[in-house]
Amino acid sequence: MDLRHLRYFVAVAEEENIGRAATRLHISQPPLTRQIQQLEEELGVALFIRTPRGMELTQAGELFLEEARNIRALVEQATERTQRAGQGKLGRLDIGIFGSAILDVIPKLLLNFRNCHPDVKVVLHTMTKAEQIEAVRQRRISVGFNRMLAPLDDIVIKQVATEGLLVALHADHPLARQSVIRFAELKDHPMILFPTGARPSFIDKVMGLCIENGFQPQISQEVGDAVTGVALVASGFGICLVPESATTLQFPGVIYRRLTDPPPNLIVDLSCIYRRGDQSPILAAFLQTVDDYRESASEQVD
Amino acid sequence: MDLRHLRYFVAVAEEENIGRAATRLHISQPPLTRQIQQLEEELGVALFIRTPRGMELTQAGELFLEEARNIRALVEQATERTQRAGQGKLGRLDIGIFGSAILDVIPKLLLNFRNCHPDVKVVLHTMTKAEQIEAVRQRRISVGFNRMLAPLDDIVIKQVATEGLLVALHADHPLARQSVIRFAELKDHPMILFPTGARPSFIDKVMGLCIENGFQPQISQEVGDAVTGVALVASGFGICLVPESATTLQFPGVIYRRLTDPPPNLIVDLSCIYRRGDQSPILAAFLQTVDDYRESASEQVD
DNA sequence: CCTCTCCATACTCTTTAGGTATGCTTCAAC
DNA sequence: GTTGAAGCATACCTAAAGAGTATGGAGAGG
């Protein structure tokens, strides 16, 4: 049996007349007669009663008509869904994130992506940098977001955004009276660092800046992520260098101050990683969204 | 697209290797390669990633695999169901009945039929003789049960059973003391007749018998069916001639007495009617059940 | 570097769908 | 009653498409 047989059968059943059905199908009458005979022979069942007036469905034919319509609808649906999946408009995208990336850029990106691709199910997985790399390799996630990424052969790193650094400090802190702070002034003030875990990380960025400015930081506490860091600032444990997006966190008593030095020293990048050679149309669509985001972000700067 | 494409696609997706899939499908490798290419081209979507190790499904391919399996299962199911319908094992049978036929024969027939054909939905319609004939012509019912049927060109009449006649009378009735009654003894006893409505009917049978035995019956009441007739016997309205199967009705105070005369005079037939030329396999199966029933009934008599 | 594996391509053959012409049956109209 | 029209079936031919054989080409492993 063939989908052609079903198409022909439905036409004949609807027209109740082989000649008219043949016209509708843009073929001549004899081949259609033969196809219907073949179908009946293959099923071993009479689907039609031949009357002088035309073709009339048997009970078995009535039943088969329903089934044939179902099958044809399902085929059409399968075709359409598969095509949408091939265009990255249907399916699932697993994304690896880490603590502070969720604060600003990722929500905006996801919002844009879901507007264009409402039928792609986005699943977020919180994981460390090392876990993300491993998960990308094993295809458990298609894309991961992180900072301070070192080049790898099998993984592409694509910069998503750059953010300036701010100092988070308590309103009672001596430096809080200044509207702008020079980096060197941070010397001798206890500092909260994050994240713990795999190096190189944001910690190394901060340590490097301190050394460039001629001092070793006084480490008050090492914590897992920016959220915890700012929470400790609110509790008076010290100051904390954070990316701009951390201003989303408005803990009581915490204020953010800009540093005087200009880029490129006082910026930190946010990048995404994905498997080199990954052909997934959903990933491609997501990376397109990332590009669009970067463009619109740089336009805002202009 | 063709069902062949689906079969081939599923095989390749499962084997993850065109060569092995070709072996499984009992064809050679190159045609299979081409069929898969055709399918991908028609959908406009890459279903597989070609690796040095073999064929790996894309996300779109995974989705299409599910759909393809569904479609194939549905086709198989449609084939099987249609074949069962063609053998009269699946579908619907509409049967016309009248009041007293339901008492004995029909329940037994239906029980037998449903044992052999559990997936045929049997729908009973209570209708008069005239309604049954009209409904058979209009195909609203496939078969009807009735008594005293006159031959018709377009309808086949098939005798289902013959039943002897009994006299239903009240236990206090003078004739109740006799274990057997001669027909002529019914003279001068008020008699309940049924059914009202279309002639010829059971009434004409009874009237004919009375005249044969030399008297005009004293009509106490005409009622619609045997059930009402026997109910009136219980209320003391008179005696009532009924088919044997009416003994199913055990009203308090009602007893049944055999008549002395032998067949063929004191029997009444139950027949079924159906459209001449009706090819429905379900009807054929039902008529076969009727034949089997008649055979087993006559065996019991032997 | 060679070989093995596996998919793609080229070409041929065979099957089968589709077209044209025609026959057969039934129904209706004259 | 005969004739014509409608509708399905059959016979035969053509063309398209699937399947087979032979071979090429690319990547992985020894």
Closest-CA residue of chain B to A283: B59
Confidence of residue B179 (pLDDT cuts 50, 70, 90): confident
Whole-number distance in Å between B53 CA and C4 C1': 12
What domains sit in chain A, N to C, each tagged with a CATH number? 3-86 (1.10.10.10), 90-160+269-301 (3.40.190.10), 162-267 (3.40.190.10)
The Cβ of residue B297 has, within 10 Å, a number of other Cβ atoms equal to 14
Q: How many CB pairs under 8 A join A and B?
A: 110
Distance, in Å, from the CA atom of A50 to the CA atom of B117, rounded to the nearest integer, reads 27
CB contact B224 to A (< 8 Å): no
pLDDT in tens, B221-241: 899 888 899 999 999 999 999
- The average pLDDT across A103-130 equals 91
Question: B63 vs A85: CB contact, 8 Å cut-off?
Answer: yes
How many residues does the structure list for chain B? 302
**H or E element that contains A44:** none
Structural tokens at position B51:
């690796």
Between A138 and A81, whose confidence is greater? A81
pLDDT in tens, A120-142: 999 999 898 889 998 998 889 99
Whole-number distance in Å between A29 CA and D8 C1': 9
Residue among B225, B201, B94, B193 nearest B149 (CA): B201
pLDDT in tens, B54-64: 899 999 999 99
Phi, psi dihedrals of residue B46, rounded to the nearest 5° = -75, 120
Is the N-terminal amide bond of B200 cis, ω within 30° of 0?
A: yes
Question: B71 vs A71: CB contact, 8 Å cut-off?
Answer: yes
Name chain B contacts of A92, Cβ cutoff 8 Å: 59
Q: Is the distance between the Cβ of A52 and the closest atom of strand D smaller than 7 Å?
A: yes
Asked whether the CA dihedral B88, B90, B91, B97 is positive or negative, the reply is positive
User: In angstroms, what separates the C-alpha of A21 from chain B's closest C-alpha?
Assistant: 21
Name chain B contacts of A68, Cβ cutoff 8 Å: 78
User: In angstroms, what separates the C-alpha of B52 from chain A's closest C-alpha?
Assistant: 14
Question: A4 vs B1: CB contact, 8 Å cut-off?
Answer: no
Which bases of chain D come closer than 7 Å to a protein CB? 6-12, 18-23, 26-28
Closest-CA residue of chain A to B88: A60
Closest-CA residue of chain A to B67: A78
- Residue numbers of A between 253 and 292 with CB closer than 8 Å to B: 279-282
Whole-number distance in Å between B32 CA and D14 C1': 27
CA distance readout (Å), A121 to A22, A94, A131, B61, B66:
44, 8, 22, 17, 18
Q: Is the distance between the Cβ of A33 and the closest atom of strand D smaller than 7 Å?
A: yes
Tell me what pLDDT residue B103 has.
Answer: 80
Tell me what pLDDT residue B264 has.
Answer: 61
Query: Closest nucleotide (CA of A50 to C1')?
Result: D8
What share of chain B has pLDDT > 70, as a percent?
Answer: 97
User: In angstroms, what separates the C-alpha of B129 from chain A's closest C-alpha?
Assistant: 26
Residue among B192, B186, B253 nearest B226 (CA): B192
Q: Is the distance between the Cβ of B193 and the closest atom of strand C smaller than 7 Å?
A: no
Q: Is the distance between the Cβ of A29 and the closest atom of strand D smaller than 7 Å?
A: yes
CA distance readout (Å), B176 to B179, B187, B231:
7, 15, 17
Whole-number distance in Å between A280 CA and C10 C1': 32
Confidence of residue B169 (pLDDT cuts 50, 70, 90): very high
Q: Is the distance between the Cβ of A18 and the closest atom of strand D smaller than 7 Å?
A: yes
User: In angstroms, what separates the C-alpha of B199 from chain A's closest C-alpha?
Assistant: 34
pLDDT in tens, A140-175: 999 999 988 888 888 999 999 888 889 999 999 999
Name the least confident of A63-67, A108-112, A202-206, B77-81. Answer: A202-206
- Residue numbers of B between 54 and 73 with CB closer than 8 Å to A: 58-60, 63-64, 67-68, 70-71
Query: Closest nucleotide (CA of A21 to C1')?
Result: D7
Whole-number distance in Å between B19 CA and C4 C1': 15
Question: A2 vs B1: CB contact, 8 Å cut-off?
Answer: no
pLDDT in tens, B80-126: 999 999 998 999 999 999 877 678 788 989 999 999 999 999 999 98
Asked whether residue A261 carries a pLDDT value surpassing 70, the answer given is no
Mean pLDDT of chain B: 89
Tell me what pLDDT residue A105 has.
Answer: 83
The Cβ of residue B94 has, within 10 Å, a number of other Cβ atoms equal to 18
Residue for token digits 């409402």?
A118
Query: Which ranges constitute the DSSP H helices of A221-280?
Result: 226-234
Question: B59 vs A1: CB contact, 8 Å cut-off?
Answer: no
